[in-house]
Chains A and B, each alone.
Chain A
């Protein structure tokens, strides 16, 4: 089975958001990067599928050359090949242009199944996975937290606002992975050594026009400092007054 996991490197949770000089983006100075949490689930599910069904796992990312660190980490966990669709400024793309570029590469790879994260933890669009399925013309199984996958198709559970849906689908399919699906493995030191001999191909992505453009970014207003209204039971009346008149939550 030809299995693809799409991943994205995102700033670590410690990264601070600072507006860039253009007012349309964030200043990445000093940021460290990591695999987006949900993409880790996608890689793990791809590896589990390979272990059950046989085949090969290719990890595909769209981003700068520096994303080789995150791709190499996937190879150390057991993926076979890595592909970087090289784009020095992936933040300038909209989800449609990312999905089109990924779809072109996945078609060329002849994949049977694609795993992506439910959402990337930086931009929060949750759009690339479903768009990818649309451009490929494949089944889209979104936000999956339990999966049984065979050679021809499978059954998945997905959590919705009104309850848990069980769906069946046929391959080829794009599956977007949600929390609870699996517990991502760590790379072992042997895996890291093995990854040294695996290749990461860098290619130019399909040129696609971006249809939406970020024109302005505003950071959330900084929180006002707290105020201590008093201590113990004696402070309760003042607290209630403040909650009614200032916070207006009562």
Chain B
């Protein structure tokens, strides 16, 4: 049976026919191909890498990149719907795709040379190469400007030194977008797998995003050529520009996780009989559903409006902060409430709610923590930065 999301305000009408078709296509793929594997991979702490060619064929890697570079030239609303549907499956799946598109293909497309674009974008769009994004360091998360990784100019190129942490896809990447401090300011580099002094050991023992590969990037006197530099950006605006793309998708992703949990808890509570009637027939569950249904509907409106503004070129970073902050926290709270509605079954991986709940602890933290986005919105409203 095809998944039907909550659509209390009939927002389906607000999407174009092709946007709905994109959503339904990805939705069907997730139901048929990903969900049957979700529990097993979450439990094993692995990502089903064998699905990469299918994901590429579906066209989810960098769908907003123009067709001449191997993308699909889609609008932002369609990209948001893709993220929503992937995260309905698992935040790890959405992360795998977000990193490839928003954090690797986007900077190459926006800041790269023509040669870099021609070489890497078709490989990344077709899944023949996997990429990762190295910004966060062990001691610098919310304050990336403090990064310790350095880039030193030499006669033939650059020498990179430092450590990056919490890097999605690192271990399996063919190319890493690494941000480093140079005399000229913060610069981005494309570091290829196998470069001498470069390694990407996997970080294990996570209780969240278990079906996603998380790695360290270790750079010890890594020599790269002049052509490894992303030539068209300098300063923190480079990585922050990428994050803005990814965070936009994550705002939709939080919604996808919420849809999955809400639907599972609703179905469960209609069929679970307690004291001779369905659980859904009691007032406490109904209050939970009324609250969640309202919050989900508001989050849908937020994502949709932001997407339309983005397609008009009017979305700002502060708007993206509001949507990421609200929709991911919404997803987490819905997951927690739904876990509760499922009672003891809620802690079983046979159901989805617990998996989403654990995953969203990462999502609410990465790409700008909930608190940092709070300060970004605070700054937008008051004009006074309160970060330090």
Contact = CB atoms under 8 A, between A and B. Distances in A.
B232 interface: no
Contact of B2 (A12, A68, A186, A191): A12
A186 B22 CA distance: 11
A193 B25 contact: no
Interface in A43-78: 68-69, 72-73, 76
A188 B57 contact: yes
Nearest to B73: A193
A97 to B, nearest CB: 29
Given A72-B17, A76-B21, A189 B2 contact: no
A190 B28 contact: no
A13 interface: yes
A144 to B, nearest CB: 26
B63 interface: yes
A14 interface: yes
A188 B73 CA distance: 13
A94 to B, nearest CB: 31
Interface in B4-28: 17-18, 20-22, 25-26, 28
Contacts of A224: none
A189 B29 contact: no
Interface in B298-314: none
Given A186-B28, A193-B72, A72 B67 contact: no
A239 interface: no
A187 interface: yes
Interface residues of A, number: 18
B59 A188 contact: yes
Nearest to A193: B72
A199 to B, nearest CB: 14
B18 A187 contact: no
B82 interface: yes
Nearest to A73: B21
Interface string A67-108: 011001100100000000000000000000000000000000
Contacts of B318: none
A188 B58 contact: yes
B58 A193 contact: no
A192 B25 contact: yes
Interface residues of B, number: 22
A189 B28 CA distance: 13
A186 B29 contact: yes
Contacts of B73: 193
B58 A186 contact: yes
Interface string A170-193: 000000000000000011111111
A189 B23 CA distance: 10
Contacts of B26: 189
Contact of A192 (B1, B2, B22): B22
Interface string B64-93: 000100001110001000100000000000
B18 A195 contact: yes
Given A69-B17, A196-B18, A186 B25 contact: yes
B60 interface: yes
Given A12-B2, A14-B1, A189 B17 contact: no
3 shortest interchain CB distances as A-B pairs: A189-B59, A189-B72, A188-B59
Interface of B: 1-2, 17-18, 20-22, 25-26, 28-29, 57-60, 63, 67, 72-74, 78, 82
27 contacts: A13-B1, A14-B1, A14-B2, A69-B20, A69-B21, A72-B18, A73-B21, A76-B21, A186-B28, A186-B58, A187-B21, A188-B58, A188-B72, A189-B22, A189-B58, A189-B60, A189-B63, A189-B72, A189-B78, A189-B82, A191-B59, A192-B21, A193-B18, A193-B67, A193-B72, A193-B73, A195-B18
